[in-house]
Structure 1
Amino acid sequence: MKTNLKYIFGVFLVLLLTLSSCTQETYSLGDLTAPSNIVVNTEVVGQDATHPNGDGSGSVKISVTGDNALSYKIDYDANTAVDLVNLPNGIATKKYTTLGKNTYRITVVAYGKGGSSTNVTKEVTVRSDFNVDASIVTALTNNASKTWVVDKSVAGQLGVGPWNVDSINPEWWAAGVNEKVASANGFYTATFTFAKVAGTGTYSLQVATPDGAFTKTGSLTTLPGIPASGDEGCYPYGGGTSAFSFIPASSGAPAVASKPANSPSTQTSVSLSGVNTFIGYGAVQKEYEILVITSTYLYVRVQGTETGNAWYLKLKPVL
């Protein structure tokens, strides 16, 4: 018993001496001063005394400078839902595609040490002119009215890939022939009628969905009446009609792809008005970039619901 007590006392004494010999470390997060003197510089491409709102390309060169800023994020248009994206090196060129002269409020968030941040805004007024190639109008609408469906007979009628200009193809996944017949046949039976309105120069899209709309649910779609939750699939939907316009593709994809494996882009998009129409896939975004179009083939892509994704769709006319 005495031996055990001596051992315990010895261990306690060693621990006490060890603890008493330790020095307390002091840690500091350093200076957490938020970024300051943030300046947003904008240069409207083609702006001069004769063209105060630019050359009609809609392009604006943006650069941001500031003190104590480690990184930046930017929202290009405060008139729409907040969409902060990274601004590498504080430099970007934004192509605004809403036709005519429009004013946009740019919001920049500058981030400093420890997550400190500073917000700044700036308005820029820019003009976007666009004359769509007549051959695109003819192919899509037949200069009157033309109905299209997703082409289940070809591979890749639905695909997923990155939303960028370096890889314009569904490199992540592509559907096989008749891929969705068993699980979501409404994807193939929905019709999309594009019309050129005589005398007004405007355009309309009528969507009919006899077997439902192929879409996601909740906040991942704009279509009214779709359930708040559930898997991707076809959901009962009464269809809808809206105006649409041709705009320069906001992706900035080149007309001739830089890599042979990539598809080209017509640099033209179909922009749908409202929330109740779609092309093939009921996406949140309403800009469908036309990659390829002929009188018998329509190949488009739209930004997916996940950041950085693009959904690819191949359609054919109803004969």
Structure 2
Amino acid sequence: MKTNIKYMLGLFMAILLTLVSCNETEYSLGDLTAPSNIVINAEVVGKDATHPNGDGSGDVKFTITADKALSYKIDYDASTPVDMVFLANGKVTKKYTNVGVHTYTVTAIVYGAGGTSSVVTKDVTVRSDFTPSADIVTALTNNSSKTWVVDKSVPGHFGVGPWSATSIRPEWWSAGVNEKVSSANCFYTATFTFAKVAATGNYELKVATPDGAFTKTGSLTTLPGIPSSGDEGCYNYPGGTSAFSFVPSSSGAPAAPTNPDNSPSTQTAILLAGVNTFIGYGAVQKEYEILVINSGYLYLRVQGTETGNAWYMKLIPKP
């Protein structure tokens, strides 16, 4: 009996091995050569013999091509924190908003089979012209000087949502009235004075922080002297003064809302110079998009400290 069992078991194993070997399929990853012959084509809109740096719109049409390419990413400016943007087909139009003529180092990463990749850079020089609406300048600065504070008395004075051209609202979280009084009252006592310098026509922001700056820590803020680690909150900060300029908003948000829940955008932004000033929240980014503004109300959003986030803030003139 034991002999028969051993025989039958051996026969079963032989049949099983035969079936496995008959159905065995060989797979190959193929040639894992990285993409080659990468070219960044940059068409500066309006560029001609008379306008060597473009028509002043700041628009550049990028097309990335390469052999054996499967996907593309691009970083538009090497002088700012790296922000690699995925391009579905290697094509995109980018609006540069720094006023004047500037040269940007653009980096493209092209991915091929098996995760292989190749990198190439290109310098692009482009001109951006922008004249803000006189109504916006007057509302923000009173054509001389005007001080603003975060409006803790209304819901939604602080909020978080996606950084998007179509969703222009704090859909992820919205503060209630006096939300931060007990945990971070410096958010409400800091003041932001916007001035138009009569002698030069330039603009200046002065930030006063009697109870500290409301910010995150370490690499999540540009403010000097902030600790390298810690929770979101108030940190000792002496305030600061910097120039600012009005620029076309880089978000691509339309001038009118796409649905009743969205706020419109003025398509104008406040761009702060340097690293020692902020508006409301001491984030990394320095471009604050003006969603709504009038003499008694300022609604802003700025790219959050985390990629893909937008911070929303409502301010009023200091009482």
TM range, normalised to the smaller chain? over 0.9
Which amino acid in the other structure matches residue 28 of structure 1?
A: S
Q: CA RMSD in A?
A: 1.9
- Structure 2 length normalisation: TM-score? 0.93
Aligned to 2:185: 185
Separation of aligned partners in 1, 2:15 and 2:184: 70
Mean CA deviation greater in 41-50 or 300-309: 41-50
User: SS at the partner of 1:300?
Assistant: strand
Separation of aligned partners in 2, 1:213 and 1:15: 76
Q: Could you tell me the percent identity over the aligned residues?
A: 71
Pair 1:141-2:141 in alignment: yes
Separation of aligned partners in 2, 1:205 and 1:222: 16
Aligned to 2:70: 70
Pair 1:17-2:14 in alignment: yes
Q: How does 1:39-188 map to 2 (within 5 A)?
A: 39-188=39-188
User: 1:202-226 CA distances to partner (integer Å, 9 max, x unpaired)?
Assistant: 1111111122211111111111122
User: 1:253-274 CA distances to partner (integer Å, 9 max, x unpaired)?
Assistant: 2222333322111111111111
Pair 1:315-2:315 in alignment: yes
Aligned to 2:206: 206
Aligned length: 316
Gaps of 5+ in 2: none
User: 1:230-258 CA distances to partner (integer Å, 9 max, x unpaired)?
Assistant: 22111222211111111111112222233
User: SS at the partner of 1:181?
Assistant: coil
Separation of aligned partners in 1, 2:316 and 2:302: 17
User: 1:144-163 CA distances to partner (integer Å, 9 max, x unpaired)?
Assistant: 11111000001110011111
Aligned to 2:278: 278
Aligned-pair CA distance for 1:178: 0.9
Separation of aligned partners in 2, 1:14 and 1:206: 88
User: SS at the partner of 1:46?
Assistant: coil
User: SS at the partner of 1:219?
Assistant: helix
Separation of aligned partners in 1, 2:209 and 2:275: 15
- Structure 1 length normalisation: TM-score? 0.93
Separation of aligned partners in 2, 1:144 and 1:7: 104
Which amino acid in the other structure matches residue 17 of structure 1?
A: A
Mean CA deviation greater in 20-29 or 203-212: 20-29
User: SS at the partner of 1:114?
Assistant: helix
